[in-house]
Structure 1
Amino acid sequence: MHFKSITYASPQPGPRLIVLGAVHGNELAGTKGILRVIEELESGQVALAQGRVTFVPITNPLAYEKQQRAGDRNLNRNLSPTKDINEFEDQIANWLCPLLAEHEVLLDLHSFQAQGKAFAMIGPLDNTGPLEPFSHAAKEEALALRLGVDRIVDGWLATYAGGVERRLARLGNNASRKDLLLADAKYGVGTTEYMRSQGGWSITLECGQHNDPHAPEVAYRAIRNTLAHLGLVAEADPAPAREVEALHLFTVIDKLDAADTFAKPWTSFDAVSAGEVIGTRANGEVVKAECDGRIVFPNAKAGAGEEWFYLAQHNARFDA
């Protein structure tokens, strides 16, 4: 196993962008989009006007080799440099985190398991709070509107932290290492959160379902639009999306038992109504939506103690 990044630098100073693919080894849309842009740079079809861009086509080579989401664990959780090496992803973090810190902007390209259309995830509003202080919200919003998608989601880390508090309350004295990790707010920190912690800004683009043949095109177009928007290439700034569906994650519900089941095969962003049955616990308890909204990241394959689904509501952040 080795780690590989490819950097193109203009003689002219400018923004520093990094683009990641295959943070999860079975999410290949980003890898394909990145390789297509690299081909264009190598052939001279695309040329940098200023700044530099670094591509990491395969961020997690072990997961990529296994053709599955994780190698030893989810790389996009608890991401930080560490001397305590327990999984292969810890070694990736020690290489990747300093690389991220060398850049200003991150575009992290993913895909998802269920059917659905592409969407972007951005960070919080500017704030000085203890969880995720931030000062580049306007930059993330402007880029998100130019990626070629019309759905934008925020609220990830705060919602994850709320879920952590509930997990902590359930843990006993014999909790496993996995249980303890899931009950650590830092476990919600992935690539974009780490980038923001280093003073940069970042967007996660979910390019579509894993096997959607259009997903690599979504990734490619997003990279090209990002290069243009940042002025890294001498092309017109893409027009922002005129209408977007903006959503705010507000709660996460964990699976408590492997036998917890959904009421139906939910897809991300399916609408739910207050009181609607979402699933049933192994003990017979019915899980209902607490208000009108949308279900996000439903995971029927989640293990006990892991995120089962998120709920989101309308976000006024992009209202005219």
Structure 2
Amino acid sequence: MHYFKSLSFASPQPGPRLIVLGAVHGNEIAGTQGILRVIDELERGVFKLVSGSVTFVPITNPLAYELARRAGDRNLNRNLNPTEAPQDFEDQIANWLCPLLAQHDVLLDLHSFQSPGRAFAMVGPLNNDEALEPFHHAHQEEALALRLGVGRVVDGWLSTYARGVARRNQSLAADASRAQQLTADARYGVGTTEYMRSVGGYSLTLECGQHADPQAPEVAYQAIHNTLAHLGLSDRPDPSPAQDVEALHLYEVIDKVHVEDAFVRTWASFDRLKQGEVIGTRHNGEVLVADCDGYIVFPNAKAEAGHEWFYLARETDRFANAA
């Protein structure tokens, strides 16, 4: 039997309500380690909570954590919504987690990634009233992103994912499995941060580094302290914003359509691409090339057919004047 656990601290003084998640994916434990370290310091009085409240969830997906793998029954960070008829363990987590997120104003979700690389943050869209992801806290997200201690910030997740969903729907068979149906569901791109924005809050994903990088827990730990300080929750000064931030925009997702689809070489996230450079080949001989100068993001050589294989990103000037 697995259970869900959170730990909350509240100041007598009013202020923002922050929630910090670790191990949304069970093999991504840098956030868990950083959270436990901050909890210990708070309980020992190393620093003080002077306003607002903070809730820590060190292990968001206990089944996946126990199994030391990304998911229990499925990816928790996709199609995150409450349901009256849970079909898997992640549905049960969602029924507990989503109401908890809705009780807060700000989310910091701590992750790590498979291939080597430096830490980066993912932010939501610019302010907009569009149907896909209406949002009005872009300035607050940008300001927090600049204080997490990283020099690379990426946006464009949900709009890019929606394009992938639209393509999957065109080829979805009538007898498709539940897993295939989920990947073709418009809500499949909704994870913790997207859900938080949908209920009126704002949120950031921090990718703390490669799973086994010994510095990743330190990145998570420092980001939590920086967030507490920036929001005015702790007695520490607001950190200075990062300068010369590399801002990237995801604009395309490419799915693996066959088990024999293959990359032409081993790619790592944020490897640079030149326009026309060959990225991979389909099982039928089709060659996939970069449509412009940019970057490959989240390449997954182990992706299953019908799932996202890699993303493409290009540089933007979104953070040129942010502070």
2:177 is the alignment partner of 1:176: yes
Unaligned runs of 5+ in 1: none
In structure 2, the residue matched to 1:158 is 159
Measured on the aligned residues, the alpha-carbon RMSD in Å equals 0.6
In structure 2, the residue matched to 1:143 is 144
Shift of 1:219: 0.1
Shift of 1:103: 0.2
Shift of 1:159: 0.1
TM-score (norm 1): 0.99
Secondary structure, counterpart of 1:317 in structure 2: coil
Q: What CA deviation, in whole Å up to 9, does each residue of 1:241-266 have, x standing for no partner?
A: 01110000000000001111101110
Secondary structure, counterpart of 1:316 in structure 2: coil
2:61 is the alignment partner of 1:55: no
**1:51 corresponds to which letter in structure 2?**
G
In structure 2, the residue matched to 1:311 is 312
Q: Distance in 1 between matches of 2:177 and 2:100?
A: 31
Secondary structure, counterpart of 1:202 in structure 2: strand
Q: Distance in 2 between matches of 1:84 and 1:157?
A: 25
In structure 2, the residue matched to 1:113 is 114
**1:306 corresponds to which letter in structure 2?**
H
Shift of 1:166: 0.8
Shift of 1:236: 1.1
Shift of 1:174: 2.2
In structure 1, the residue matched to 2:204 is 203
Q: What CA deviation, in whole Å up to 9, does each residue of 1:120-161 have, x standing for no partner?
A: 000000000000000000000000000000000000000000
Shift of 1:182: 0.4
**2:242 corresponds to which letter in structure 1?**
A
Shift of 1:235: 1.5
Q: What CA deviation, in whole Å up to 9, does each residue of 1:19-59 have, x standing for no partner?
A: 00000000000000000000101101111000000000000
Question: Which range moves more in the overlay, 201-210 or 310-319?
Answer: 310-319
Q: Distance in 1 between matches of 2:171 and 2:254?
A: 13
In structure 1, the residue matched to 2:65 is 64
Q: What CA deviation, in whole Å up to 9, does each residue of 1:187-208 have, x standing for no partner?
A: 0000000000000000000000
In structure 2, the residue matched to 1:91 is 92
In structure 2, the residue matched to 1:293 is 294
Q: Distance in 1 between matches of 2:111 and 2:235?
A: 27
Q: Distance in 2 between matches of 1:169 and 1:286?
A: 21
**1:213 corresponds to which letter in structure 2?**
P
Shift of 1:301: 0.6
Secondary structure, counterpart of 1:237 in structure 2: coil
Report the number of matched residues. Answer: 320
Q: Distance in 1 between matches of 2:144 and 2:318?
A: 14
2:190 is the alignment partner of 1:189: yes
Q: Identity across aligned pairs (percent)?
A: 70
State whether residues 47 and 235 of structure 2, in contact with CA within 8 Å, keep that contact through their aligned partners in structure 1: no
TM-score (norm 2): 0.98
Question: Which range moves more in the overlay, 239-248 or 282-291?
Answer: 282-291
Secondary structure, counterpart of 1:93 in structure 2: helix
Shift of 1:172: 2.2
Following TM superposition, the consecutive aligned residue runs of length 4 or more in structure 1 with deviations greater than 2 angstroms are: none
